[in-house]
Amino acid sequence: MATTRESSATVEQVWDVLADGWAYATWVVGASRIRAVDPAWPSVGSRIHHSVGIWPVVLSDHTRVTGLHEGRELSLEARALPFGAASVTIRLLPLAAGCRIEMIEHALTPPISLVPDAVQHALVHPRNREALRRLALLAERSSSPS
């Protein structure tokens, strides 16, 4: 199941935000800071080195690109150990005015990976809905006049 949001931003504007690894903590709920971004981001295998949590309790980990369809789809392995890892796919679909953003997330590691997909979706949907709201706002901001 996907979490979706329609945006007035174009596919290209949303992709520009996704392609800016330094913006990751701005739209990903739970990411508190970016420590480094591989120069090849968002090519397959590249990573964003981030921290999760609220100071002073932050965990350092990374997110890695596992698949890419340039300008349309980005597949990630998002890690926040000891909580586990998840597969996250973000798809951008053009609309007559703007685009539709889809986010699909599945746990990759136990114990959450043992939970049925529908329950996993219900658990992550509120966080992913907020992440897509933030992503859309960042992309829409880039289209507004200064």
Three-state helix/strand/coil letters over 36-82: EECCCCCCCCCEEEEEEEECCEEEEEEEEEEEEECCCEEEEEEECCC
Report the greatest alpha carbon distance in the chain: 48
In the predicted structure, residue 146 carries a pLDDT above the cut 60: no
Prediction pTM value: 0.93
Q: How far apart are CA 83 and CA 109, in angstroms?
A: 9
Residues in the chain, total: 146
For the chain, what is the radius of gyration of the CA atoms?
15
Mean pLDDT of the chain: 93
Distance CA 26, CA 34 (A): 10
Q: Calculate mean pLDDT across residues 34-38.
A: 97
The first and second tokens of residue 93, run together, are 């679909």
pLDDT at 125 over 80: yes
